[in-house]
Amino acid sequence: MAEQIAVGGITVPITHPDKVLFPGEGITKDDLARYYADVAGAMLPWLRDRPITMVRYPDGLGGQRFFQKNAPSYFPGWIRRVEVEKEGGHVEHVVCDQPASLVYLAGQACIEIHEFTSRADQLDRPDQLVFDFDPPDDQRFAEVRRAALWARDLFDGDLGLTSFVRTSGGRGLHVHVALDRRAGFDEVLQFAHRAADVLARRHPDAITAEQRKDKRGSRIYADVMRNAYAQTIAASYGVRARPGAPVATPLSWAEVEDDGLAPGQFTIRTIRARLDGGGDPWAGFTGSASGLGEARRRLTGLDA
């Protein structure tokens, strides 16, 4: 029997609401849908106007997952779509611009929502640069925090940019810089590669920019490939399909400096208290957007 969730003036049916998606926590499809309805106000500003990729788990974490880019024909007409060019054609992606869209996706067992780093009106112009610091195992989060802080020193101190940080919802951290959308993806990716190389040279025993896993050793990987066209990142306040139902969460830099920070401490069941506490550590993100011209000149000096 379907559950009905009314949100934003739209009633969304949730079929099989009691289906357990997170067996360890007993979190059901209905729980996921109500979570997304609850956090829509915090989540939608980061998703609005961005194509998404859905990561669906029809039988929960223990079953098969699949990534879905195209919006199926049976999705309701009130769900916005946008065409994204690809080699040999295009894909019609979903865009989440209202709470009901998030709830509907949860009803489709879409646990994770991954968003573009560009918006629908200029898909070829990213509005952010992203470093994804990924540890080789779950026990290395202190080193991930250190790597992120070194990235802040590079971006804010050496390059004159303003960086922001968040948990990925997995075991790593993402460092973001807001861009003014004057540079295309190729230019941003090239800049990110050069910046990652500087970090790796400064901290050769701790950080690597090497894409091949067999060459990274025990070092933290500074992954910049999210900066390529049509690549995606996990949505802020979006749930990740991992035990505990962790949530990708914007942080302050002071929190990253705190040894007590843990990658999985923000979850579907704990994030509401954080949101109710007031204060958005990323409130200044959009206003900090800048070009890469001056930063590129400074980077060239560091390369020299």
* Stated pTM of the model: 0.96
Rounded to whole angstroms, how far apart are CA atoms 123 and 174? 21
pLDDT score of 279: 86
Q: If you classify domain 3-116 with CATH, what class do you get? A: alpha beta
pLDDT score of 2: 80
pLDDT score of 138: 63
Same fold, 3-116 and 128-230+285-303: yes
Name the residue type at position 9: G
What does the domain layout of the chain look like in residue ranges? Answer: 3-116, 128-230+285-303
pLDDT score of 1: 67
Annotate 192-237 with DSSP letters as a single string: HHHHHHHHHHHSTTTEE---SGGGTTTSEEEE-GGGSTT-EEEPTT
Annotate the chain with DSSP letters as a single string: --EEEEETTEEEEESSTT-EEETTTTEEHHHHHHHHHHHHHHHHHHHTT-BEEEEE-TT-TTS--EEE-SPPTTS-TTSEEEEEEETTEEEEEEE--SHHHHHHHHHTTEEEEEEESB-GGGTTSBSEEEEEEE-SSTT-HHHHHHHHHHHHIIIIIIS---EEEEE-SSSSEEEEEEB-S-S-HHHHHHHHHHHHHHHHHHSTTTEE---SGGGTTTSEEEE-GGGSTT-EEEPTT-B-SSTT-BB--EE-HHHHHSTT--TTSSBTTTHHHHHHT---TTTTTGGG-B-SHHHHHHHHHHH-
pLDDT score of 34: 98
Phi and psi of 148, rounded to 5°?
-65, -40
> Exposed, middle or buried: residue 97 (CB in 10 Å: 0-12, 13-18, 19+)?
middle
CATH topology for 128-230+285-303? DNA primase, PRIM domain (3.90.920)
For the chain, first and last CA: distance in Å?
Answer: 66
The answer to whether the CB of 206 falls within 8 A of the CB of 219 is yes
Q: Annotate 228-247 with b (16+ C-beta within 10 A) or e (fewer).
A: ebbbbbbbbbbbbbbebbbb
pLDDT score of 140: 85
Residue 1: count other Cβ atoms within 10 Å of its Cβ.
6
Rounded to whole angstroms, how far apart are CA atoms 53 and 91? 11
Rounded to whole angstroms, how far apart are CA atoms 172 and 265? 12
One pLDDT digit (tens) per residue for the chain, 304 residues: 689 999 999 999 999 999 999 999 999 999 999 999 999 999 999 999 999 999 999 999 999 999 999 999 999 999 999 999 988 889 999 999 999 999 999 999 999 999 999 999 999 999 999 999 988 876 689 999 999 999 999 999 999 999 999 999 989 999 999 999 999 999 999 999 999 999 999 999 999 999 888 889 889 999 999 999 999 999 999 999 999 999 999 999 999 999 999 988 999 999 999 999 988 999 999 999 999 999 999 999 997 7
